[in-house]
Chains A and B, each alone.
Chain A
Amino acid sequence: MGDFIVKGLRKTYGDFSLEIPELVFRRGFVTGVVGDNGAGKTTLMRCMTGAALPEEGSVDPGSPLPAGAVFDECPFPQEMRARQLSSIFSSMFDGWDDQRFRGMLKSFGIDEGKKVKEYSRGMRMKAQVAVALSHPTGILVLDEPTAGMDPAAREEFLDCIRDYMLDESSCVAISSHITSDIEKIADYLVFLKDGKVIIDGETSEILSRYGVLHAPRDSDICGSGIVRRRTGPHGCDYLVEGLEEFSAAHPELKADPVTLEELMILISKGEEA
């Protein structure tokens, strides 16, 4: 199985256009897709799974197996119970593993006799994950899977993904607004803004490349390395690119390592410095 490659993709909805020259979702790794609302994350995910058809470009799944998809809304028929779902999916998917499905439901604390409409938000997302992981998949595409989950449920969910990644041929693409989840799980990051990829690379490398400088509100710091600034009610934050070089060049200014959340805010809401 090869990597999942998106090439020359263009998808337009009215004024919005998603344009991806090339993106590689590597096997054996989790790739996190982050960005503002309307940045194009869901459109990218839908193009990757074939739910949306791009006007241009290609999507090479690198595997003959279908995708396992988890969306922010549970698509299963509301009146059905988990055991009925298993019966439906056994005729829908080749290689459906009923034992695994039931085992996962049990470990997630989902009562097989309960109807989907009686599930909590977290249970609905977990049920989707259980379905996605109970049949052979070439890639797991997770669009906002942890939205609305409490911290314990989110951690449990991330553990599931970690277990799934024990198989080195696995490939996961995950989008989320909860940046701490992405920081915990993603080996690679894709940062989208207005339908364009503005940062793409290894998570650790990206986070070590950038730094943040907190300064008073009326400060006006400029110099090489400062790429964006955002003035808030209580101060001014500067995004620094090349943290080591900047610290060496400006020992009087103390820049801290950036968190993914700070990076997202400064890139999407900050102005060019």
Chain B
Amino acid sequence: MNRLLKKEIASNTIMFVALPLSILIYSVIMQSGPYLPFMFAAFMGAALPASSVDMDDKSGWSRFAVSSGIPRKTMVDAKFMLTLVTMSVCQAVAFLGAMLIVLITGCEFSIDDALLTIVLSVCLGLMLSSAALYIGYRFKGVAIFVVILILGFIVTVMLFGMQRILGIFSDSIAATAAVCVAFLAVTALLYILTLRTVRTRDF
């Protein structure tokens, strides 16, 4: 197991409670359909690893870990593992949110559509997290990125309607698969770029 994963999870326990709670609350408040919580979870899930890089830099944890002989790759891998854990937790909570919306509004809920949305959301979330991690390590300005991310999400929802966007993908498995592969390819590329950045930067 990654030597830093325990620290990553333990030091973000508050966020692990706050993020799922906010997913539930926003899902119910917005009530834009039962698939929205999954996409919302993807955005929220990306915020945690991003902010944890920022916190590590500010507190001096990264410098301490590297100085204490922890390989730089271990540090990057721990953040990507944190991303996976966060994404899983957020998607599980999003499912609860979706069920709540169905209960409240009595709208239709298709498991097939939900699965497609989850896959799409996870891939999108992984790409966003990777981008946030890369930017966090490369430019040390992740807080701004997170704000843009959230504002961008709100604007997207308001202007286009999340349900319509999801509708395009949920109608076509091939389109969803192509988009997911593209998201994962970008994630892989960003992982390599993050590793290169962390191997050559000072802490």
Contact = CB atoms under 8 A, between A and B. Distances in A.
A87 B203 contact: no
Contacts of A141: 67
A171 B30 CA distance: 61
The 7 closest A-B pairs by CB, nearest first: A66-B69, A49-B67, A69-B67, A77-B11, A75-B60, A75-B64, A52-B202
Given A53-B202, A67-B69, A80 B10 contact: yes
Contact of B66 (A50, A76, A92, A93): A50
6 contacts: A51-B203, A52-B202, A88-B7, A91-B1, A92-B70, A141-B67
Contact of A80 (B11, B65, B68, B200): B11
Interface string B46-68: 00000000000001110111111
Interface of B: 1, 3-7, 10-11, 13-14, 59-61, 63-70, 200-203
A77 B59 contact: yes
Contact of B14 (A51, A53, A79, A84): A79
A75 B59 contact: yes
A52 B201 CA distance: 7
A73 B6 contact: no
Contact of A71 (B5, B10, B14, B63): B63
A contacts with B: majority SS: loop
B149 to A, nearest CB: 24
A68 interface: yes
A46 interface: yes
Contacts of B70: 92
Nearest to A65: B69
A120 interface: no
The listed residue with most B CB atoms (<10 A of its CB), out of A51, A76, A87, is: A51
A204 interface: no
A224 interface: no
A219 interface: no
Contacts, number: 76
Nearest to A93: B68
B150 to A, nearest CB: 23
B contacts with A: majority SS: helix
Interface residues of A, number: 27
A46 B14 contact: no
Nearest to B11: A77
A84 B6 CA distance: 10
Nearest to A90: B6
B56 to A, nearest CB: 8
Contacts of A80: 10-11
A51 B67 contact: yes
A45 to B, nearest CB: 8
Contacts of B67: 46, 49-51, 67, 69, 71, 141
Contacts of B66: 49-51
Contact of B63 (A75, A78, A92, A93): A75
B14 A92 contact: no
Contacts of A91: 1, 3, 5-6
B64 A77 contact: no
Contacts of A49: 66-68
A46 B7 contact: no
A91 B64 CA distance: 15
A21 to B, nearest CB: 22
B10 A51 contact: no
Given A49-B66, A51-B67, A91-B6, A71 B60 contact: yes
Contacts of B63: 46, 51, 69, 71, 75
Contacts of A51: 63, 66-67, 202-203
Nearest to A49: B67
B69 A77 contact: no
B81 to A, nearest CB: 13
Contact of A77 (B10, B68, B202): B10
A78 B63 CA distance: 16
Given A46-B202, A77-B59, A69 B10 contact: no
The listed residue with most B CB atoms (<10 A of its CB), out of A52, A75, A91, is: A75
A75 B61 contact: yes
